[in-house]
Amino acid sequence: MEIGFIGLGLMGRPLALHLAAAGHQLHLWARRPASLEPFAQTAASTHGSPAEVAASSDVVFTMVADAPDVEAVALGDDGLAAGARPGLIVADMSTIAPGAAQDIAARLEARGIEFLDAPVSGGEVGAINASLTIMVGGKPEVFAKVQPLFAKMGKSVTLIGGSGAGQVAKACNQILTGVGVAAVAEALNFARKSGVDAGKVREALLGGFAYSRILENHGQRMLDRNFKPGFKSWMHQKDLRIVMEEAHRLGLALPSSAATAQMFNAMVGSGLGEEDSVAMLKLLERMSGTA
């Protein structure tokens, strides 16, 4: 199968490499030539525009920053729609608003192009290890065609519902992970401020009802002060902005999400946006005098 991939950043690059390793012919486009360098030893073909990628592909995966980027790649000048072959499937693995996904799906369908919204959870480590959770919205028959490719990139692949449903699931994921990171950072900072070994506290909590993968994985990174980005704070800020915009649209109270969104706003505003979301601990330390 001829596969296009656009968005070869922290997450997209390892995913595209998994597809290449599985023997698929890749067609790539990137704004920055440096993004293409890891594919020099593969049989991947590079192209001058998304339209050229579409003209050579049966399925195109996109993984970019936000809805305007998806729209530009899919529907802009020299976008995928401009070069699409009949029956092209676009599978967008970015995190965007559910309504934006539905709008892009409808506009592509009007041009004979199928669309899946397929955001992921698992961060850079999950992308490298092909162990992502992939949440998909779209038509079941289209999902069935792409599911074997998703299986090369993730260990859990679920069709949630129609267009936009994958993005709803991702918003729920970002509520839980964002609030979870903030809670773990608060707990470890509280322990340290109290003069207690935060590592021992974490060890004890892992054996009880407070256990979570965030406490296990992200908590250890906080203790190690490993703030190298696997998922940058500005990205979680953007995702929680989507959550809060949807909450306003639905007239829905999300008090924990709102407070956590403000914390991520503060992270970006204080210069921590390029660090991993676990740098929430650094923000709390600054606020409480434990830095």
- Positions annotated as catalytic residues are 170
Phi-psi category of residue 78: left, alpha or beta, with phi > 0 → left and psi -120 to 50 → alpha? left
In three-state secondary structure terms, 7 is coil
Is residue 269 a contact partner of residue 256, using CB atoms and an 8 Å limit? no
In the DSSP assignment, the letter for residue 239 is H
Q: What share of the chain is helix, strand, coil (3-state, %, to 5)?
A: 55, 15, 30
Is residue 258 a contact partner of residue 196, using CB atoms and an 8 Å limit? no
**Residues facing 231 on adjacent strands:** none
Dist CA 36 CA 52 (whole Å): 16
Dist CA 118 CA 134 (whole Å): 6
